[in-house]
Structure formats: C-alpha cells, structure tokens
C-alpha cells in the first residue's frame, strides 16, 4: 500500500522566462559573428538568459556546490572497487580541500559545502545537522530507509536548496560521495527508464568482471523490491536508495521551485534527477546537463529527461567534478552573449542579402 506524503508535495514548477530567451536569440543574431557560428555556446547563453529572466545574462555571481555524502549497506556486498571506509575518508579530503571537487571549484569560482546525510558513524569526520542515519539499508534485501528517514532526507534536501538560494546562490551544483552509490543509481535508472539492468550497470569505481556480476545480481534483487513501489517516488526513494540520494532528489526539485538553475553532474545525480522530475514535474527545465558520464546509465538519464550534455570527456568520478568542468564553458557562453559587440556597434557589415534570407542549401 502506498503511503500518503502530503507534507512532501512540491508546488508547481514555474517555467523559464521565454521573453528573455527570445531577446537572447535576437541578440545572438546581432553579434559580430556568422549566424550560429558559436554553436552550442549560443544555445547555452540563451538557456541561461531564460533562467535568469534577463538579456544579456550575467556570469554566475555565487555558484555553489553541495556534496551529499552517505554510506550504502549494499557496499558491504562487493559491488564497488573500494571499501566503504573511503566515503568518510573522502569527506575528510573534501574538508581539507584536496579532492577533485575542491580543485575544480577553485578553478571555476565555485564554493563547496559537504553535507553528511548518512556517513558511517565510526569514521565520519563531521556530523551535519541534516544527518539521517549511519548508512542506509542494503537495498537488495531490505529497505534503505524508514518512512520517517525518507521524509527527513527529502526535507533536508529541500531545506538546503532554500538555505543556499536565500544566501544568494545563483547556480546550484549537486555532487555525490558514497561508496556503492552507483548501485542504487542503476536501480532507479533501470526502473524509471524501462531498461534491462545489464544495459545500465557500469564499472563504477572500476570493478572487475566478478564484482560486475555481483553488482548486477544486487541490482536485480533490488529491482524486484523497487518495482512494487515504482509509481510512488517517495516510496521508491525509501526502499531503494539512501538518505543521500533522497536528499538529492528533494534538492534538485526545490532548486527548480526556487527558479534557480542547476548544473547536473553524472550518473548518481542523474538518477536522483529522474525521481526529482517525478516529485516536481517540469523541474528538468531548470537543469543543464554538464556532461555525459562514461557510466551507461548517464546516457539513459539524458535521453529520458531530453537533456543534451555540454561536455563528453569520459568522466566517471562524481563529486560534481563533471559539472565543475563544464562551468567555465557555461561562463564563456554567458560572456560572449553579454560582452560581444553587435554589428552596429562595431561598424561591421552584417550578413549579405542572400545570407540574411536564409541558409543556401
Ligand atoms: C577515492 C574515491 C573518490 C571518489 N569520489 C567520488 N567517487 C564516486 O565513486 C563512488 C561510486 O562508485 P561505486 O558505486 O563503484 O562505489 C561514489 O563514492 C562516487 O561519489 C569516488 C570513489 C573513490 C574510490
Ligand atoms: O558519473 C558519475 O557520476 C559516477 C561514475 C562512477 C562513480 N561515481 C560517479
């Protein structure tokens, strides 16, 4: 039986500003370059203008990364190439600034916040106010969370989005850290995109064939449980994910409710995004896919949500690393739209009559 979750209902997601988008398209045509010659940079500039409700768009003043960390019971079953203790150790690394996310955030002008949603208590270096448990249940044989825990996790994600937007964040970036988390991600992606597990399961941290078979078996077992609650996103998060992924779903949905653009990272964030789109239909209009993860599930998410990635660099790290690698490209797209001279301003001749009336072929 599905549970009532009225306190977790999201308001309708507002659409982007179409008028600002149209102005941006018109401005692109006035800038001193052959029409369309900046390719996807032009589309990205228009995308940002419509999300900011302003043409020209402004470079993001306060891009903010939130890394959601949590341990997963299923990691005890040999589905990752690394031991579960690495989750807490990497949280320590984030806090001292030595992880990929820290380097890429410094390079792209973003700041990083780490939230411990479910890191194993023995080793956790910080306990956040939002912490829900010390590791979520092994999803192939038990529920990840209790009803109270899933509600707390989704509410935490929403509260974090609200806190960050209220503190001035104008671009939100979500990252993941949790050994084993590509297993629940694969369960969500398989179920919500209607894809066979074998076409979704990836190598995660770099597992060998034996571990791949264990991971695929765990995903099949978890899917058997998940299928029963397929049409109830909160129940799906409760049975088959973990507090980190449930919080991510709440965060991604609430960012959209708050009209704040989000740069999506890889397969784990993408899996949470599939559920967030069910929690808050239309939320995907506020998300820009930063990259195509090397994990097969990443591509399935992009197709399902109809998102075109900015980059395809075969990244398979998580931690928001792909999102932060794409951020300078998005900033370039904003700046060319905002700062390039128009044909009139620069005294440069526009397209000839034949060109202006449309493409030749
Ligand atoms: C040192 C290290 C740093 C990481 N940063 C992100 N991940 C990524 O890899 C993990 C998911 O892959 P799997 O499901 O195979 O365990 C997650 O922690 C994810 O954030 C890392 C993994 C490791 C080992
Ligand atoms: O694409 C990702 O986000 C990813 C891939 C492998 C491991 N962790 C994350």
Residue ID of nearest Cα to ligand 1 atom 3: 90
Return d(Cα 12, Cα 273) in angstroms, integer.
16
Q: Do 63-328 and 12-57+336-357 have the same topology in CATH?
A: no
Q: What is the ipTM of this complex?
A: 0.99
Ligand 2 atom index nearest CA of 315 = 1
Q: Which residue puts its alpha carbon closest to atom 1 of ligand 2?
A: 266
Question: pTM of this prediction?
Answer: 0.96
12-57+336-357 classified as CATH 3.90.79.10: no
CB-ligand 2 contact for 265 (6 Å cutoff):
yes
Give me the residue label for tokens 């939100």: 172
Q: Is the CB of 298 within 6 Å of ligand 2?
A: yes
Is 345 among the residues known to form the active site? no
Query: Residue 57: left if φ>0, alpha if ψ -120 to 50, beta else—which one?
Result: beta
Cβ atoms < 10 Å from Cβ of 267: 30
Pick the CATH number of 63-328 from 3.40.50.720, 3.40.50.10210, 3.30.200.20, 3.40.50.300: 3.40.50.10210
Distance 183 CA to ligand 2 centre (A): 10
- For ligand 2, atom 9, the nearest C-alpha belongs to 318
Identify the active-site residue in 319, 339, 345, 355: 319
Whether 318 lines ligand 2, by a CB cut-off of 6 Å, is yes
Ranges of each domain in the chain: 12-57+336-357, 63-328
Distance, CA of 6 to CA of 1 (rounded, Å): 15
Q: What is the pLDDT along the chain (361 residues), one digit of tens a residue?
A: 444 445 689 999 999 999 999 999 999 999 999 999 999 999 999 999 999 999 999 999 999 999 999 999 999 999 999 999 999 999 999 999 999 999 999 999 999 999 999 999 877 777 789 999 999 999 999 999 999 999 999 999 999 999 999 999 999 999 999 999 999 999 999 999 999 999 999 999 999 999 999 999 999 999 999 999 999 999 999 999 999 999 999 999 999 999 999 999 999 999 999 999 999 999 999 999 999 999 999 999 999 999 999 999 999 999 999 999 999 999 999 999 999 999 999 999 988 866 555 554 4
């Amino acid at each position: 039986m599905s549970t009532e979750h009225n306190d977790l209902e999201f308001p309708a997601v507002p659409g982007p500003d179409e008028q600002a988008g149209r102005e941006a398209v018109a401005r692109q045509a006035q800038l001193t370059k052959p029409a369309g010659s900046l390719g996807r940079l032009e589309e990205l500039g228009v995308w940002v203008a419509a999300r900011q409700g302003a043409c020209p768009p402004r470079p993001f003043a306060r891009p903010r990364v939130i890394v959601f960390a949590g341990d997963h019971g299923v990691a005890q079953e040999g589905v990752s190439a690394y031991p579960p203790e690495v989750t807490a150790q990497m949280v320590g690394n984030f806090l001292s600034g030595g992880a990929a996310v820290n380097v890429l955030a410094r390079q792209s002008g973003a700041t990083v916040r780490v939230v411990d949603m479910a890191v194993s208590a023995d080793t956790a270096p910080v306990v956040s106010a939002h912490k829900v448990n010390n590791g979520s249940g092994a999803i192939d044989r038990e529920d990840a969370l209790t009803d109270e825990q899933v509600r707390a996790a989704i509410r935490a994600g929403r509260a974090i989005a609200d806190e960050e937007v209220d503190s001035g964040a104008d671009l939100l970036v979500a990252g993941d850290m949790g050994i084993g988390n590509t297993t629940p991600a694969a369960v969500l992606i398989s179920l919500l995109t209607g894809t066979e597990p074998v076409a979704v399961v990836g190598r995660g941290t770099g597992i060998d064939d034996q571990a791949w078979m264990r991971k695929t078996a765990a995903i099949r077992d978890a899917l058997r449980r998940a299928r029963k609650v397929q049409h109830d996103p909160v129940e799906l998060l409760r049975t088959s994910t973990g507090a980190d992924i449930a919080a991510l779903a709440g965060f991604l949905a609430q960012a959209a409710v708050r009209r704040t653009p989000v740069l999506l990272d890889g397969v784990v964030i993408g899996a949470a995004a599939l559920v967030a789109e069910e929690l808050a239909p239309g939320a995907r209009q506020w998300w820009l896919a930063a990259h195509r993860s090397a994990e097969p599930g990443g591509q399935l998410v992009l197709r399902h949500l109809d998102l075109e990635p900015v980059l395809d660099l075969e990244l398979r790290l998580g931690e928001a690393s792909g999102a932060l690698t794409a951020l300078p490209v998005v900033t370039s797209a904003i700046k060319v739209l905002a700062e390039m001279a128009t044909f009139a301003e620069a005294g440069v001749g526009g397209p000839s009559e034949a060109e202006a009336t449309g493409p030749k072929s």
